[in-house]
Amino acid sequence: MGTVDEVVKESGGHEERILVSVRLRPLNDKEILRNDVSDWECINDTTIIYKNVNLSVTERSMYPSAYTFDRVFRTNCSTRQVYEEAAKDVALSVVSGFNSSVFAYGQTSSGKTYTMTGITEYAIADIYEYIQKASCIILFESSAREYLGRDNSSSLSATVNFVDLAGSERASQSLSAGTRLKEGCHINRSLLTLGTVIRKLSKGRNGHIPFRDSKLTRILQPSLGGNGRTAIICTMSPARSHVEQSRNTLLFASCAKEVTTTAQVNVVMSDKALVKHLQRELARLESEFRSPRTSLFPSDYEALLREKNNQIEQMAKEIKDLTMQRDIAQTQVRDMRQLLGDDASLLMQVGLRNYPNLRVQGSPDYRSPMQVSILSDTPSIDADIRTCSDGHSRSSSEDQIIRVPEFEENFLPNSSSPRLLAGSSNYSESDSCEGWDEIEKQSSGTSEDLFKEVHCIETKESSTKGKKESNFSSPEESSKFPAEMTAEIGDKADKATVSPPADDYERVLTPSLKINGELTSLPCKEDQECVSFSPYEEERKSSEEPLSLPSKDSQTLESPKFADNRESVPFALKEEKELNCVHTFEAPSPANLSSPCELISDSPGSRSLKLCRSRSCKASLMDDLHSPRFKELSKNENTPPSRSERSVNSRPECREIKISPLNFTSDVKDSQEKGSTIYDENDVNEVSKGEDTTNENVNDVDDACDARTDETDELQYEKEVKECPEAELEHDKPSKCVRDVGLDPIEEDLKTLRSWPSEFNMRQKEIIELWNVCNISLVHRTYFFLLFQGDDAKDAVYMEVEIRRLTFLNDIYSHGEKTVVNGRTLSLSHSMKELRQERRMLRKQMLRKLTEEERESVYLKWGIRINSKHRRFQLVQRLWNKTDDMNHIADSAYLIAKLTGLMKPGQAPKEMFGLDFSPRPSRTYSFTRSLISSIL
Ligand X SMILES: Nc1ncnc2c1ncn2[C@@H]1O[C@H](COP(=O)(O)OP(=O)(O)OP(=O)(O)O)[C@@H](O)[C@H]1O
445 annotated ligand binder: no
Give the range of 107-115, 294-302, 593-601, 640-648 binding ligand X by CB under 6 A: 107-115
Q: Which has the closest alpha carbon to 899: 404, 272, 244, 322?
A: 404
Q: How many CB atoms lie within 10 A of CB 764?
A: 23
CA-CA distance, 418 to 849, in Å (whole number)? 24
Kindly write out the interface string for residues 60-99 of this chain, putting x where it contacts ligand X by CB under 6 A and - elsewhere.
----------------------------------------
Give the range of 111-119, 502-510, 625-633, 738-746 binding ligand X by CB under 6 A: 111-119
We find the least distance from the C-beta atom of residue 248 to ligand X, in angstroms, to be 14
Q: Which has the closest alpha carbon to 810: 823, 795, 827, 793?
A: 827
Question: Is there binding between residue 757 and ligand X (CB under 6 A)?
Answer: no
> Looking at 68, 109, 153, 528, which residue binds ligand X (CB under 6 A)?
109
We find the least distance from the C-beta atom of residue 264 to ligand X, in angstroms, to be 32
We find the least distance from the C-beta atom of residue 75 to ligand X, in angstroms, to be 7
Question: Is there binding between residue 110 and ligand X (CB under 6 A)?
Answer: yes
- Cβ-contact 726, 615 below 8 angstroms: yes
Residue 514, H or E segment: strand 512-515
Question: Is there binding between residue 238 and ligand X (CB under 6 A)?
Answer: no
Stated length of the chain: 936
111 annotated ligand binder: yes
Give the range of 22-30, 245-253, 558-566, 768-776 binding ligand X by CB under 6 A: 22-30
Residues 276-305 binding ligand X (CB under 6 A) are: none
Residue 720, H or E segment: helix 714-723
106 annotated ligand binder: yes
We find the least distance from the C-beta atom of residue 17 to ligand X, in angstroms, to be 24
Question: Is there binding between residue 25 and ligand X (CB under 6 A)?
Answer: yes
We find the least distance from the C-beta atom of residue 103 to ligand X, in angstroms, to be 12
Nearer to ligand X, 77 or 622 (CB): 77
109 annotated ligand binder: yes
Question: Is there binding between residue 528 and ligand X (CB under 6 A)?
Answer: no
We find the least distance from the C-beta atom of residue 51 to ligand X, in angstroms, to be 19
SS3 content of the chain, % helix, strand, coil (to 5): 55, 10, 35
We find the least distance from the C-beta atom of residue 183 to ligand X, in angstroms, to be 12
The dihedrals phi and psi of 606, each to the nearest 5 degrees, come to -150, 160
Q: Please return the burial class of 298, using the count of CB atoms within 10 Å of its CB with bins 0-12, 13-18 and 19+.
A: exposed
Question: Is there binding between residue 28 and ligand X (CB under 6 A)?
Answer: yes
CA-CA distance, 740 to 733, in Å (whole number)? 8
- Cβ-contact 403, 385 below 8 angstroms: no
Longest CA span, the chain: 174
> Looking at 167, 435, 550, 901, which residue binds ligand X (CB under 6 A)?
167
Nearer to ligand X, 187 or 381 (CB): 187
Q: Is the dihedral of CA 744, 747, 748, 750 positive or negative?
A: positive
The dihedrals phi and psi of 54, each to the nearest 5 degrees, come to -90, 5
> Looking at 81, 113, 188, 354, which residue binds ligand X (CB under 6 A)?
113
DSSP state of 178: T
Question: Is there binding between residue 118 and ligand X (CB under 6 A)?
Answer: no
Nearer to ligand X, 46 or 113 (CB): 113
> Looking at 52, 81, 108, 264, which residue binds ligand X (CB under 6 A)?
108
We find the least distance from the C-beta atom of residue 211 to ligand X, in angstroms, to be 23
Q: Please return the burial class of 96, using the count of CB atoms within 10 Å of its CB with bins 0-12, 13-18 and 19+.
A: buried
> Looking at 11, 19, 21, 111, which residue binds ligand X (CB under 6 A)?
111
DSSP state of 416: T
Nearest residue to ligand X by CB is 111
> Looking at 26, 118, 210, 690, which residue binds ligand X (CB under 6 A)?
26
245 annotated ligand binder: no
Question: Is there binding between residue 114 and ligand X (CB under 6 A)?
Answer: yes
Question: Is there binding between residue 38 and ligand X (CB under 6 A)?
Answer: no
**E strands of 44-169, at which residues?**
47-50, 66-68, 71-73, 100-106, 155-156, 160-164
CA-CA distance, 936 to 930, in Å (whole number)? 10
Residue 923, H or E segment: none
Nearer to ligand X, 106 or 921 (CB): 106
CA-CA distance, 371 to 385, in Å (whole number)? 9
Tell me the binding residues for ATP. 106-113
Q: Which residues are near ligand X by CB under 6 A?
A: 25-26, 28, 106, 108-114, 166-167
